[in-house]
Amino acid sequence: MAEIIRLRGRTNHGKNRVHEHGEVWEVLDWQSSLRPNQPFIRSVQTGDERWLTDDFEVVIPERF
């Protein structure tokens, strides 16, 4: 089962992507040697796929 995360945009680019594709994303198992520290993610809402870059921050629920 894939991990589901909630994102918030840090930069204008990230904010635009969250606005276009939603804030709920699925972390995929696929990794690349070109970007070893950046997970590959897919929007639950639109299916858009991208790398989790510094344009985004993961929102941690308040209960933790």
Confidence of residue 35 (pLDDT cuts 50, 70, 90): confident
Neighbours of 21 (CB within 10 A): 20
Give 50-61 pLDDT, tens digit per residue. Answer: 999 999 999 987
- Whether 23 contacts 59, CB under 8 Å: yes
Question: Mean pLDDT for the chain?
Answer: 89
Domain range list for the chain = 3-58
Confidence of residue 34 (pLDDT cuts 50, 70, 90): confident
Euclidean distance between CA atoms 14 and 55, whole angstroms: 5
- Phi/psi for 30 (5° steps) reads -70, 135
Euclidean distance between CA atoms 31 and 42, whole angstroms: 13
* Amino acid letter, 6: R
Question: pTM (2 decimals)?
Answer: 0.83
